[in-house]
Structure 1
């Protein structure tokens, strides 16, 4: 992995000299190598425990996040279409369904920019239901995501405790390590010690 980042560093130096070349194939290769510099963020994340924890939480709660994105997409399309049907009139309201989907997306996320707003009664009902749907869509998977964060945080704490206990001179045997671990951990989470 380190060799890849060394190559990317060499790319920075070579980029300065090769940027003057006008060859289209070579310039495409250079553009691709420039895009590879984004891999440095991946390398940086291995050193930052917070980014690692966020990554673990996102991996752990993939299903909930997928559910959230699905509900947002479905609601945006559905409420955008309804809003267009209810509010479309010449010179007023949304000019197209994608324009109405922009309105529904900002309403679902409870931002509400104010560039579009309902005027008719059916449009107002659509706006209220869209707003409530957004609040429900955010609030339903949120406890599961919070629980996932708590699990990842507890796993990290137990791993730190495990490494400290195993570093103790008296923890040279597994039996001693178990005894010491149970003195500090009232949940009996020895499974993480294995």
Structure 2
């Protein structure tokens, strides 16, 4: 049976699948070569090396996540958009744990500029602007939301919620409700910097 030719796209797809199956650390050029039954040297004719492969896998995952957001967010604002954005991230992390790991990987500036990470970031900023925050506070709020999503997903993936009640899904809703409440009652500059002087 004739083996189909290798392409960058096929290698990245295979790397994404391998990451989901065995975790991102399992993604190596040797592992890909074994998957396609070729010599590792054959991989180098399509990729610049392991860092290049991992950057491309991260971009692949970010594009899939951006596509999911493009389906989830239209027509939503405020709390609805907040939940849709967060749910899309959690759902993706659950369905594709290795790709999610790849999406969190720090990539080169050049790779970041080419990825859909900017699209995702702008989606988050758009949600925050709907809460009437200042541009500076939008950045803080996006970081708050990102920290909550990534922290929750990491703990859930590691089994951190497996042996307690209520179920993690209930906590997830409560966490997002708390963030929504915080965004609707975002502290003013004066409230953030109270006078600490004493008599």
Query: One fold, TM greater than 0.5?
Result: no
Q: Please state which structure has a larger fraction of its residues in helix.
A: 1
TM-score, scaled relative to structure 2: 0.28
TM-score, scaled relative to structure 1: 0.28
| Higher relative contact order structure (alpha carbons within 8 Å, sequence separation ≥ 6) | 2
